């Protein structure tokens, strides 16, 4: 596995010593990393905060990791077969909660 991380630094198809299988494995690793960041940005709020400091970016990365861990915990507790199912169910519950809060605010005033 360690040698794969070394090949992630550059495009592996330029190295003639690598076998086609190794190149394919390397791209598979790179693709999974790209998918993770896309999903984390889109669904888990990675770097959504409107700040410019390094500390706030680090905090955002950690908050995203905590959100993901909570989804995995929900999966392990039987809330869904896959993390995306838990995310969808949680998002739906939050939408209902937000609607109930707005409705309560409407009747309160």
Q: What is the tens place of the pLDDT at every residue in 28-78?
A: 888 888 888 888 888 888 887 777 888 888 888 888 888 888 888 888 887
Domain ranges of the chain: 1-43, 50-109
Angle of the 83-108 helix axis to the 54-76 helix axis, nearest 10: 110
pLDDT surpasses 70 at 21: yes
Say whether pTM exceeds 0.75.
no
pLDDT surpasses 50 at 7: no
Q: Looking at residues 2-17, what average pLDDT do you find? A: 55
Percentage of the chain lying above the pLDDT 70 cut: 75
End-to-end CA distance of the chain: 61
Higher pLDDT, 83 or 59: 59
Specify the pLDDT at position 11: 53
Specify the pLDDT at position 15: 65
């Amino acid at each position: 596995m360690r040698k794969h991380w070394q090949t992630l630094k550059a495009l592996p198809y330029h190295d003639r010593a690598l076998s086609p299988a190794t190149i394919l494995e390397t791209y598979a690793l790179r693709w999974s990393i790209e998918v993770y960041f896309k999903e984390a940005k889109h669904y888990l709020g990675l770097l959504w905060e409107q700040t410019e400091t390094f500390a706030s970016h680090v905090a955002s990365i950690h908050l995203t990791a905590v959100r993901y861990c909570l989804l995995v915990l929900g999966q392990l507790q039987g809330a869904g077969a896959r993390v995306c199912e838990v995310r969808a169910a949680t998002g739906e519950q939050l939408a209902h909660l937000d609607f109930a809060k707005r409705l309560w605010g409407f009747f309160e005033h």
